[in-house]
Amino acid sequence: MKRILGIAGSPRPGGNTEFLLERLLAAAEAEGAETKMFTLAGKTIAPCADCGRCTNRQPYCVQSDDMQALYDHMLWADAIVFGTPVYMGTMTAQLKAVFDRARPLWLMDNALSRKIAAAVAVGEGRWGGQELAIQNVYWAALNHGMVVVGGACLPYGNWEVCGVAGAAGQIAADEEAIAAAEGLGRRLAKTNIEFG
């Protein structure tokens, strides 16, 4: 796996999700991967309007917003790591809009189906819904035909990168989440899949 894109699904710049993704991408780079980070903070990506005008070339979608740049980053990547804060038990509306607006990529011979998906989530609560948010990300990625790769850490449960943090930056104290994120980054850098 060579090209890894992190998408931080938080509207808060410099937040916990960005922090975890940065650590994941740094660990992947140390294994030789090329990485990019795209944060949704400060960006505008409107929900899909179901106008029926998706196309298989730029601008892909008639809505002229920050999704236009993200299409190209997504097409560049071999693997996409979707990071999300937990909002009311699931991924943010900002990240869900990305999955919905990625629909035109179906028209490019199902472009995302030859890419790997992975996920990280940060919630304030110890049982705040991180696992469910990650599962919802997986499900959306599977809807795009992506191949989901989890972590491979022991002991039980560390296959998912679940951070516990509230205030921005607090995640720096969650050593388990950081270790899991770095483990997933290394794994993604080394994973090569031949797509059928």
Ligand X SMILES: Cc1cc2nc3c(=O)[nH]c(=O)nc-3n(C[C@H](O)[C@H](O)[C@H](O)COP(=O)(O)O)c2cc1C
Query: Given the rule CB under 6 A, which residues bind ligand X?
Result: 10, 12, 15-17, 85-89, 122-125, 128-129, 165-166, 168
Closest chain position to ligand X (CB): 128
Nearer to ligand X by C-beta: 6 or 129? 129
Q: What's the closest the beta carbon of residue 182 comes to ligand X, in angstroms?
A: 18
Residue 77 contacts residue 3 (beta carbons within 8 Å): yes
Instruction: Check if the beta carbon of residue 3 is closer than 8 Å to that of residue 33.
Output: yes
CB of 107 to ligand X, least distance (A): 32
Cα gap 10→42, rounded to integer Å: 9
Rounded CA separation 101/111 (Å) = 14
Closest CB to ligand X among 14 and 59? 14
- Looking at this protein, which amino acid is placed at residue 65? D
The Cα–Cα gap between 24 and 151 comes to 11
Q: Closest approach of Cβ 10 to ligand X, in Å?
A: 3
Q: List, as one string, the DSSP characters of 74-97.
A: HHH-SEEEEEEE-BTTB--HHHHH
Least distance in Å: CB of 119 to ligand X? 13
Residue 118 C-beta: closest distance to ligand X, Å: 17
For residues 54 and 107, the answer to whether their CB atoms sit within 8 Å is yes
